[in-house]
Structure 1
Amino acid sequence: MKKINYYFTISLVIFITFFSFFNMFQIVQLSSTVLTIVIDNLLPSLLPFMILISLCMSLGIVQLFSYLIQYLFLPLFHLSPTMSSIYFLTFFCGYPTNIKIIKEAYLLKHISLSQLQHLLSIGSFASLSFIFVSLKIDHAFLLYVCHILPSIFLALCYRQKQTFQTLKQSFEIINTPKVSFVSALKQSLLSSCYTFIFILGYMLVFQFIGYALSFLIKDPFILSFIQGLLEFSSGALQLSSLDPSPIVYAAICFLLSFGSISVMMQMDNLLEGIPYSWKTYFFARVYHGIFSFILCLILFDSFLF
């Protein structure tokens, strides 16, 4: 994946450089649109979670929550206590915060490489605030249910023997943090800003590509869906502005579950140096997207339209 990511990035840079020379006014407008999306939608919905969860992870507070959530998630999903808490948090925090906290848990040696790989497969969701606030669509709750159910089913199929964490073990981690509060806060702020640089950069890149595709694709639904495959948030927002129908809702649900090429490239950069399997992650995203699409299409077509 590293070589593919490198050559793909080089190709994008060359294309955008030439494209921007001939479309400078449109580039400025697109940049303004992306900044608006980031400031109005992604910044308030992602940044607080990034900082707080990263801080709790560094100080060991997540381990106390792991003790509580393990009694539900360990028998149900066969996840370790730490995996249980991370999986629970991914239902709320959204891309790429989920990837960031999985990485931090691995670097702190709270989870193994195989556990990291499994969490990447099952713990990939769009944020609650993006679905319920930013999209501004009817039946958002049903859309969210269709979005998370395929992941829950995949998590139920996991079979690994795990042991419960004692309350004493939880407090031992909290009482002996690896970093001070000030250092943890500084690290959380810096890593969160670093992550947002990736988000903004890739959103700009794929917005430019999407605009270039608009010269070839005139159908608004097809164009919005393809743009969503490149960068899911802008594509989902454009689809949500179309006339509501089962296929529109199903397409939005697919994008929320698949993630987009932008998210995958952000993930690959965030996990630099970690020998995870990109192929396994990619097929998990395809599975999640397809089954979310089918489930959403059936439910919306049968009960709401």
Structure 2
Amino acid sequence: MRQLLPGLPVVFLFLAMLFSPKAVFDGAESGLLLWFQVVFPTLFPFMLISGLMLSGGGLAVIARISGRLFSALFATSPNGSFAVIAGSLCGYPMGAKISADLVRSGKITRDEGAYLLSFCNNTSPVFIMNFIVWKTFDREELMVPTLLILTGVPAFLSLFFRRFYLKGRKKFPDLSVRKEANAKLLDFEMLDSCLSDSFESIVKVGLYIIFFSILIALPGKLSAAHPVLAAILPALEMTNGILMIDHAVSDLSVSYPLILGLTSFGGFCSAAQTQCMLKGTSLPLLPYITQKLTAAAAASLLGVMYIRIL
């Protein structure tokens, strides 16, 4: 009997999909459109250019320009500063992908890679402004506090998270000197390799979005009648979850902190995408999820405080 238990959730999911073909189609369609119209054109170019920078020596330029500043602020190595910049600006799961690529290529240590995951794999400012503030809330006065909370909380928490990874050091070691000789000139072989790697990564991101969109669509109208489902489903996928919270909760004093918390956490779909990016690095996922949940709680608390002051 114990051997059958692990297979029961998959069988249940299969039966649910079998008896709800329209929900499966609608979920897959919405996930595919979200990936094709928004995620692919937004992330793929940055995945490609980050791969070219890591392979073609561009990382050394970024490290030289920003390394000292980010080392002072976040105790990162010069190479690690690139993950902070790209992860903060490009959104999920770019912070995880670049951190993992840096670890795999030996440009940063495993400890620094795990530390970078704790605060630089976040929602992009463009998504926050366009989707959350303008499209969801349609209240421009929420622009500054929303940006400050969602970008400031991870940066502030990094002051505490770094203590688990620095292990008595003041900052992470600089490995750029020993790897400097490996830089190559950009050629078509390098471009082809980076294109293949970036395409594989963005397709996997899309497949996760489609899968979790199906999971959200399957319960259908049942979620409105069951509080447990209504609470769990938005956490599966961030974009759809934000819309679900906005439609279900009309009171801004409730919906605003909930959406801030979900955005800071990123949803389980983003966690799955992150795990996908970490393959071959031995970077653990559980501490990352714990740190994201901590950031989500802090962001929600600040959201409650801001709404009460407002």
Counterparts in 2 of 1:1-305, with a 5 A limit?
13-135=10-132, 136=135, 137=137, 138=139, 139-157=142-160, 158=162, 160-162=169-171, 173=180, 176-178=182-184, 180-218=186-224, 226-240=232-246, 243=250, 245-303=252-310
The corresponding residue for 1:4 is none
Give ranges in structure 2 of 5+ residues lacking alignment.
none
The letter for the 1-side match of 2:159 is L
The letter for the 2-side match of 1:16 is L
* 1:28 positional shift: 1.6
Residues of 1 paired with 2:184 and 2:105: CA distance?
Answer: 9
Bigger mean CA deviation after superposition, 52-61 or 284-293: 52-61
8 Å Cα contact 1:206-1:231 kept in structure 2: yes
* 1:149 positional shift: 1.7
The letter for the 2-side match of 1:246 is S
* 1:40 positional shift: 2.7
TM-score (norm 1): 0.84
The letter for the 1-side match of 2:89 is F
* 1:294 positional shift: 0.7
8 Å Cα contact 1:221-1:239 kept in structure 2: no
Bigger mean CA deviation after superposition, 136-145 or 277-286: 136-145
* 1:220 positional shift: 10
8 Å Cα contact 1:227-1:234 kept in structure 2: no
SS in 2 for 1:35: helix
Residues of 2 paired with 1:52 and 1:244: CA distance?
Answer: 42
8 Å Cα contact 2:76-2:172 kept in structure 1: no
8 Å Cα contact 1:87-1:119 kept in structure 2: yes
Pick closer, same or farther for the CA change 1:84–1:145 going to 2, 3 Å: same
The letter for the 1-side match of 2:149 is C
Residues of 1 paired with 2:73 and 2:11: CA distance?
Answer: 49
* 1:262 positional shift: 1.6
Pick closer, same or farther for the CA change 1:296–1:184 going to 2, 3 Å: farther
After superposition, the C-alpha distances for 1:10-33 in whole angstroms (9 at most, x for unaligned) are 666534322222111222222221
8 Å Cα contact 1:255-1:289 kept in structure 2: yes
Residues of 2 paired with 1:163 and 1:147: CA distance?
Answer: 25
Pick closer, same or farther for the CA change 1:163–1:101 going to 2, 3 Å: closer
Residues of 1 paired with 2:95 and 2:37: CA distance?
Answer: 20
Residues of 2 paired with 1:132 and 1:225: CA distance?
Answer: 25
Give ranges in structure 1 of 5+ residues lacking alignment.
1-6
The letter for the 2-side match of 1:133 is N
When the two structures are aligned, how many residues end up with a matched partner?
A: 293
Residues of 1 paired with 2:51 and 2:150: CA distance?
Answer: 25
Pick closer, same or farther for the CA change 1:83–1:54 going to 2, 3 Å: same
* 1:57 positional shift: 1.8
The Cα RMSD (Å) is 3.0
TM-score (norm 2): 0.83
Residues of 2 paired with 1:110 and 1:301: CA distance?
Answer: 46
SS in 1 for 2:224: coil
After superposition, the C-alpha distances for 1:135-182 in whole angstroms (9 at most, x for unaligned) are 32432342122112221112234353348979x959x93x85247432
The corresponding residue for 1:3 is none
* 1:128 positional shift: 2.4
After superposition, the C-alpha distances for 1:30-71 in whole angstroms (9 at most, x for unaligned) are 222112222232223222222222221221212211111122
After superposition, the C-alpha distances for 1:114-152 in whole angstroms (9 at most, x for unaligned) are 111101111120122222223324323421221122211
